[in-house]
Amino acid sequence: MFEHKSVLLEETIDNLNINPNGIYVDGTLGGAGHSYEIVRRLSNGRLIGIDQDEAAIHAATERLAEYKDKVTIIRSNYSQMRKLLEGISVCKVDGILLDLGVSSYQLDTPERGFSYREDAPLDMRMDTRNPRTAKDIINHYSESELYRMIRDYGEDNFAKNIAKHIVRRREEKPFETTFELNDIIKAAIPMKLRINTGHPSKRTFQAIRIELNQELEVLKDTLQDMIELLSPGGRLCIITFQSLEDRIVKSCFKTNENPCICPPDFPVCACGKQPTGKVISRKPILPSKEELDYNKRSKSAKLRVFEKRM
């Protein structure tokens, strides 16, 4: 069954500032934990849920069944949000939510290949319609491509050595499973440096998942669209789980709040670029101690909030 403890649930719902008659989009619907709390606060409002994962679509449809008259669920990637909304005659919305974490269901379903703690085929696809899997990346990327991916997306200091070990090992036999990859990553990191630094595969698995699902490109390319889709006073709430995503969100929000490109020594703005809104969360909103106690996976979560200009 699709289960996912919704991270920063109360904080997200509070910051969406829900209008009972408004239109809201959950771009990463998952098991509908956040969406359920949104839709039950709506009277004549509407919720549009988007997810590319088939299991999530089934779970969310079931979870939101009692509110089906107010809900539209679409299987797609949130990168298509503008087009999808146009397709159902929606041009402006009152709030948008993204929860960018891998769901508990995806991590705990071994055959999905997201977890380095279970021996399973190297898959890691968010959308199982994607013909390419993690196995293709590991077996076909050049050593320099693997190094770039692990360095940039995994931020791993041993990226060069891990890439070298992967290429050397696959010359004997192609990689098939997560544990085969684990063994090679362990071999590439000195034992004394593996102590007290968490699982050695964590960063490489993150890098492969981001690369395969184009997570950072999708986020970067869609943020501006989402801000433009907001009605005046509408809010965009984004929950990130790693520094690369958080940096992208923080930078985009900051630019939209202060888009001026004039040199700092100009006495007045001459570029004419106007703010599109304001950042509500100066610092990211973090999980409470209570949440961290009952949901260890919320540890790295950060919520940032942007409000469209009135």
User: Consecutive sets of 10 residues in the chain, 310 residues long: mean pLDDT of each?
Assistant: 76 98 97 97 98 95 97 98 98 97 85 95 96 98 98 96 98 98 96 81 97 98 98 98 97 96 90 95 95 91 97
Whole-model pTM: value is 0.94
Sign of the alpha-carbon torsion through 77, 130, 72, 239:
negative
Distance CA 309, CA 234 (A): 8
Domain boundaries of the chain, sorted by first residue: 9-105+215-308, 113-213
Q: What is the pLDDT of residue 102?
A: 87
- Cβ count within 10 A of residue 255: 17
Q: What is the pLDDT of residue 149?
A: 98
Distance CA 25, CA 45 (A): 11
Residue of 120, 12, 2 whose CA lies nearest to 64: 2
CB contact at 8 A, 97 and 27: yes
Superfamily of domain 113-213: Putative methyltransferase TM0872, insert domain (1.10.150.170)
Please state, in angstroms and as integers, the Cα–Cα distance from residue 261 to each residue in 252, 253, 273, 274, following that order. Answer: 14, 15, 8, 11
Q: What is the pLDDT of residue 264?
A: 87
Distance CA 65, CA 140 (A): 43
CATH architecture of 9-105+215-308: 3-Layer(aba) Sandwich (3.40)
